[in-house]
Amino acid sequence: MKKLAIISVSGILLAFSIFAHAQYPEKPVRLLVGFVPGGGTDTSARILSEQLSTELGQAVVVENRPGASGLIAADEVANAKPDGYTLLLANMQSTVSAPHFIKKNAPEPLSKFSPVSFIGVVPNVLVISPEKHPFNNARDLIDFASKNSGKMSYASSGLGGPQHLSAAQFAQTHHLTMTHVPYKGSGQAVTDLIGGLVDLNFDTLPGIISQVRAGKLKALAVTSSSRSAQLPDVPTIEEQGLPKINVAQWYGVLAPANVPAEIVKKIDSAISRSLENENVQKKLALQGLTIGDGPDSPESFKALIAKEWVSYGDMEKAFNTQ
């Protein structure tokens, strides 16, 4: 009788769990962003959240938690209840790169997160203020920086981000000495670049495209293998006879570790439908984001994170920044 009672209680709990997962979501979902409003990660989150709200039938509310190269938001999500109501609009920086640069013996991200959906990738763009520097291409910048060793500075959205690593790799390759000025996100970095307080930035395309179009910034090169459809007149680094920069910014959605697989699948499906929406595709394309160029399932997204965690750890050691 006692054994039967235990089986009955277990059955009831299992049925309740299945029912709860089926009802998800029953309240608004929080989508945290680790950077200030206006940057590429924030803009992508807001474009996605609008359609995702429709697909899930509940509001998806974007909340900014800037600081520590995105790790403040990442830590909040990692420590949240694993029920699917707190998500992270993650990027390469906050997931696989910055932890190596900021934390000693940082825990492997897959111990803290459940990968949900890979969204897409964006190229970096080498930009300057045309009011401060009359450079026409990347080689002009290299020549000037070589003759003014230690006098130039580059901005970034924080340690271990694509801006930081692209510029560090660029400087290392061409034997340049430049000062790194990290910010809490792209917004203030771009403002100070326009104002001449820093000399250059390898920003993600979403963070600078409007300022390039307005003439406030000048794009000298893109780091992707081919030209961007949004900046077709800007040559690639390799077109200018320079070595490729092996840093790529991507965006994706993560949940806390141990979120039930049924909920992960439901969110992933809703994000996939959102990315199939023509209006969403147009808005993300205008930001320079390439959808579908990467993992197509939570499992393959998990594999990418595991692989890049190792490669960016090796890069941190090579740059010897700690």
Residue 200 token pair: 């250059």
pLDDT at 107: 81
Whole-structure pTM value: 0.81
89: helix, coil or strand? strand
**Whole-number Å distance between alpha carbons of 32 and 72:** 10
pLDDT at 306: 97
List, in order of start, the domains of the chain with CATH numbers: 29-122+249-320 (3.40.190.150), 128-240 (3.40.190.10)
Distance (Å) of CA 287 to CA 68, 121, 315 = 24, 11, 27
Mean pLDDT by 10 residues, the chain (322 residues): 53 48 91 90 94 98 93 96 98 93 83 97 94 97 97 92 93 96 88 97 89 97 90 96 91 98 98 97 89 90 96 85 43
pLDDT at 322: 38
Residue 150: phi and psi, rounded to 5, are 80, -5
